[in-house]
Homo-oligomer: A and B are copies of this chain.
Amino acid sequence: MNIAIIGTGLIGQAWAIVFARGGCNVRLWDGDAAALERASGLIARQIAQLQAEHLLDDAPAATARITRCSELAQALQGADYVQENLPEVLDVKKDIFRKLDELAAPQTVLASSTSSIPASAFTEDLPGRGRCLVAHPVNPPYLVPVVELCGAPWTDAASMEKARSVMQQIGQKPVTVHKELEGFVLNRLQGALLREAFRLVQNGYVSAEDLDATVKDGLGLRWSFMGPFETIDLNAPQGLTEYCARYGGMFRSISEEQIDTEAWSPELIAELERQRRELLPSTELLQRRLWRDQRLMALLRHKRESADEA
C-alpha cells in the first residue's frame, strides 16, 4: 500500500512511523525542505527506539520504506491514501485539500489529522469532496492505536470504509464517527469526566492526587482493556439492562449536579496547578513524559501478550 504523508511535524512523523511499521510504502512531503530533512532523522531514530522496545520488528526495513519527496505531486503519485498534518488553520486546510484533490488520482482517499476542524469546513467546494475525511489520531499514534474517522455529510461510504480498512491493516483501531461533532468521541468522553473531576476538586471533596488514584487504581483498570459499555454489561448478573435498572437512578440523580457550563476559573486552574507542582515540579515534567511513554510501551506489550493468550 502506498501512503503519502503531507506535513512532517510531530504528528506527520508519527504517522510515517505507523504506516512504515505496518508495511506500507511511505512518501513524505513538507513545504519546508529543512523540516522534511529534520523529520527523516527523527523518524529513523524513533523507529530504532521502537524496535529496542519490541514494538517494531525490523527497523532498517521500516526506515527503508520511507522516502522524502520535494514535490507534492511526486509524493501523491500512486498513493492509495493520503494523511495530511498541516497546522490547525482553516485556510491552510482549504488550500492543501484543494491541491491534494487536484493532484491525487481519483481513487485516492484524502484524510486530515485535524482535531478541531470538521471536514465539511475545508472540502465543500472540491470536485472530489466525496473522498475527503478526518482521521484523527491520538498522540503518539505508534503508542495509542485508536483513530477517529469522521467524514463530512458528503463523504462517500466507500472512502470511509477504505480508511477504516487501511487503519486495520496497519494495526490501528479505527472508530467510525457517523456525523460531525466537536471533539469527536474521545475528547467528549474525556471532557465529561474532566469537568466532574474539576468540579469535585473545586468543591473541596477530593484532592487532585486522590482523584487520580481513584482512576488509576480503580476506574481506569477495566477501561484499559474493555471500555465503559462492556464494563457495565459485565457488572450485573444479567448484563447491561439489569445494570441500568440498579444504578441508572443514582447516575441520573448525580447528573443533576453535573450541568454547569462555566469556564474553569483561573483560581481553580491555579489551585490544580499548585497541587500538581507539589507532586511533580516543573523541572521534572520532561522526564515524567519519558516515563509515561515507557509505561505506555510496557502497557502495549502487556496488552499484546494478554490478547495472544486469549
Contacts and interface: CB of A to CB of B under 8 A. Distances in A.
Secondary structure dominating the interface of A: helix
How many protomers of this protein does the assembly include? Answer: 2
A185 B214 contact: yes
Interface stretch (A31-39, A44-52, A97-105, A188-196): A188-196
A202 to B, nearest CB: 12
A242 to B, nearest CB: 9
B239 A212 contact: no
A273 B183 contact: no
Interface string A237-264: 1111100100111111111101111111
B146 A218 contact: yes
A272 to B, nearest CB: 6
A28 B260 CA distance: 46
Interface string A211-245: 11111111111111111111011100111110010
A233 B212 CA distance: 12
Interface of A: 116, 138, 144-146, 148, 173, 175-179, 181-183, 185-197, 200, 203-208, 210-230, 232-234, 237-241, 244, 247-256, 258-264, 269-270, 272-273, 275-277, 279-280, 282, 285, 288-289, 291-292, 295-296, 298-300, 302, 306, 310
